[in-house]
Structure 1
């Protein structure tokens, strides 16, 4: 199982040396393990003639299967651990506000009703701070978007959230069922800051589809964005789930985007340097509960840029080959 995890990390990082560091082994030892895998399978998994490393076609097929095997094993491990008598303790969660406030508050309340001996503590932070909190041991679990851009952590795919055009009810786009990305050209918008993964994802999506809206302002806070849209004649591209209340009360309108844009959400967990180890029991039980109750806006797409067979294609983002967004018609 450890060799499969190593291969998965090599594919994710496009680097044997970085994956070796994550696993607490030498680059030579990591290369030897990958060579053993290739010898056993009778195929070449990595194209070592290019930098950064890329997967061969056989490697891509193998990675897709490896991801499924690891997910199933981790799920089985959590299920077995959850059968222990009355796990207790504190689960410290660091989450980005735009997803945590929508998901964690309700789920954690339901979880604590069923597991009163486990206390879930939630802190809302910016993406980089979520990552640092998990890496430095201040949080047992992180919840954020585009989790695969962060290295040296374990990643658990959670759900893909549909992004949509959000505008005031009197906007020219309000009332439409959908809008083509190119139709947004020339219209004023407010957006997430591009130093946030979701901001870069939206910018990349618009660029790829030839859309050139006018960015009037950018913010790093979801509530500020929603307030700016409600108070002006501008639009924003936001996670559809996060404006359900405003749509219900009539303060905002939502229009679907074509091609579809999704924001991948995931959990990040500490990863010991020397070898993979099980999550603490209380954390494992909460993760399993969260996966069961997270919901799903769109069919889940691959979080790895090397897996291109998913129903939604993953676009390369502004940061070093990190997958930023899924788009589909």
Structure 2
């Protein structure tokens, strides 16, 4: 009973909320509160300061939380080693990805992984970047796929792919006939931008300022797909990772114009919780992502990485 209560406590500690932990576990809030109370009575200490909002852990609670996380990670590592004594890779891999690492890009990886490891369940969810990191910290995902990845604190990054950034315009635009364009050609253009909370927007703004280019941001979206649709209908031009517009370029819906004299890439990384055990199945998925895709794409460069260890 107390092991189960310790798991419930970890959920409350991660979310700093009884109600959010109850929703995540499919339990009632009174049942969550009762489990924490039983645990505190068993230990003889107060784990949570309930007088503050959001809830805060007491010093005893912080120590117990860190110990429990390590205990559960070690237990999952033990389960993984025992299950794989048979040499058959099994289990589940939970992947949280940003939208722009889209289905078209991932479908080949998913098909190869499922063919190679038929006894592994692969769960792939597309989310806002902040939600990807939240999933990792809350232990609701094994690995995340993000752009401009963080590497520090609780998060560890494994390099993955560099994607060439370029100008994206509708076919009738004045830049559409160019094989490449200097960034200064964008000065004064109506621009379809990412929302300001995204790292790719900050990097784009920094690059435009550096080259003294001023654009008129007429629309803002938090994902590549909406930006592409806006450019298609002539709402403005944009700067995007060129691999994300491959389908539209091939269909004649958009034109991709590389930037002249400018080496500018969007880095994609594989992120995980630092010191968290990576299961054999998850490590094999990371390994597969670093295999050549078999397509000749001048806009994508695979970044070598140390083989993912399954602890």
Could you say which TM-score interval applies, normalised by the shorter chain?
0.5 to 0.7
Corresponding residue for residue 51 of structure 1 = none
2:112 pairs with one of 110, 113, 126: 110
Distance 1:83 1:222, change over 3 A: farther
Structure 1 contact 155–269 (Cα < 8 Å) conserved: yes
Could you state the TM-score of these two structures normalised by the residue count of structure 1?
Answer: 0.62
Counterpart secondary structure, 1:164:
strand
Corresponding residue for residue 136 of structure 2 = 134
1:262 pairs with one of 265, 271, 278: 265
Partners of 2:119 and 2:271 in 1: CA distance? 23
Corresponding residue for residue 159 of structure 1 = 161
Corresponding residue for residue 188 of structure 1 = 190
Q: CA deviation at 1:83?
A: 10
Partners of 1:205 and 1:245 in 2: CA distance? 26
Structure 1 contact 167–233 (Cα < 8 Å) conserved: no
2:242 pairs with one of 231, 240, 249: 240
- 1:245-266 CA-partner distances (Å, limit 9, x unpaired): 1111101001001313210000
Counterpart secondary structure, 2:290:
helix
Tell which structure's C-alpha radius of gyration is larger: 2
Segments of 5+ residues of structure 2 without an aligned counterpart are 1-65, 67-83, 306-311
Aligned length: 221
Corresponding residue for residue 255 of structure 2 = 253
Distance 1:299 1:221, change over 3 A: closer
Structure 2 contact 89–120 (Cα < 8 Å) conserved: yes
Structure 1 window deviating more from structure 2 (204-213 vs 161-170): it is: 204-213
Segments of 5+ residues of structure 1 without an aligned counterpart are 1-23, 25-81, 303-329
Distance 1:151 1:237, change over 3 A: farther
The answer to whether 1:175 aligns with 2:174 is no
Structure 1 window deviating more from structure 2 (97-106 vs 137-146): it is: 97-106
Corresponding residue for residue 22 of structure 2 = none
Could you state the TM-score of these two structures normalised by the residue count of structure 2?
Answer: 0.66
Structure 2 contact 98–126 (Cα < 8 Å) conserved: yes
Partners of 1:167 and 1:270 in 2: CA distance? 38
* RMSD of Structure 2 on Structure 1 (CA): 2.7
Q: How does 1:46-61 map to 2 (within 5 A)?
A: none
- 1:100-136 CA-partner distances (Å, limit 9, x unpaired): 4343232112210111111210011111110010111
